[in-house]
Structure 1
Amino acid sequence: MNHPGPAAAPDRDQTRRLPLGTREGAVQQCRDFSRRALLDWQWPAVDRADRPDDEQVAVFEDVLLMVSELVTNACLHTPGGPRELRLRWDTVRLRVEVSDASPFPPELRPSADRGQPGGHGLRVVDRLARAWGSRPEDGGKSVWLEVSSPLEHRP
């Protein structure tokens, strides 16, 4: 039986794109797409005992949460919902971008009422991402965030 050798290191500067046509199911679709991409890029890496490092798993889960938040915001606050999810991995950082048709940049609310739903998503992104923002794109915008590589943290 042939056993695969060690996984190859990811090529520098890989990009994955997911065009989106509807709000329905977009959040789960983007989470699943992101999960597959991160696993392909060996997030999180496993140690010699085939166990993922706890810190790497935490960053992996944080990325999926932040993807959900950006896509949810586009679903709730923009005409037509999200247009596309882009993930760009260059072995040093991950950049996540969600494009939509609204030209208005998202605003971080000063403080959301903790007892009320909504208004917390960008606060979560602001705390977990290395950086985030938005830029104009094709009559709308792209909201982006960046996360440093968790692969520097070794068990």
Structure 2
Amino acid sequence: MLVIDSHDADIANARHAAADYVRRSCPWADRDAVTLVISELVGNAVRHTERGQWRLCLNSDDTRLIADVQDTSCAPPAPRQPDLARGGGMGWHIAEELTSRLTVLPGPDGKTIRAEWQPPA
């Protein structure tokens, strides 16, 4: 298990630690896809929450890799139409495309976005 939070790390640290975790613990997973999704989810936590605080938890077993990104906003993600001219709006769509499952788990002090990957059959 890997746990990193905004008190000890920034988005780049989270991305690098996740890539290392995947290399060591889930060689079957697409490391680039996992790090891109984590970068998007942590980046959204920084941009779209009042305090910008987040916590990343990575865990895996033989059947899946789970990345939980917790933040302090109770508002669910609001996917929007991608805007290539002005930028933005692509993160949630990218995360949906690159994961096996993407779930929003509401909590009393915010929410957790859970990204899951399963090994190829």
TM-score (norm 1): 0.71
What are the within-5 Å matches in structure 2 for residues 46-125 of structure 1? 59-109=30-80, 111-125=81-95
Residue type matched to 1:100 in 2? D
CA-atom RMSD, angstroms?
1.8
Larger radius of gyration: 1
TM-score (norm 2): 0.89
Classify 1:144/1:82 alpha carbon distance in 2 versus 1 (closer, same or farther; 3 Å).
farther
Q: Report whether the alignment pairs 1:136 with 2:120.
A: no
CA drift at 1:116: 1.9
CA distance in 2, matches of 1:36, 1:131: 22
Q: Report whether the alignment pairs 1:37 with 2:21.
A: yes
Identity in percent? 27
Residue type matched to 1:102 in 2? S
Match of 1:11 in 2: none
Structure 1: runs of 5 or more not aligned = 1-14, 45-55
Would the aligned equivalents of 2:4 and 2:55 in 1 still touch at CA under 8 Å?
yes
**Structure 1 stretches (4+) deviating beyond 4 angstroms?**
none
Instruction: Kindly tell me the number of residue pairs found equivalent between the two proteins.
Output: 121
Structure 2: runs of 5 or more not aligned = none
Would the aligned equivalents of 1:16 and 1:86 in 2 still touch at CA under 8 Å?
yes
CA distance in 1, matches of 2:114, 2:19: 17
CA drift at 1:138: 4.1
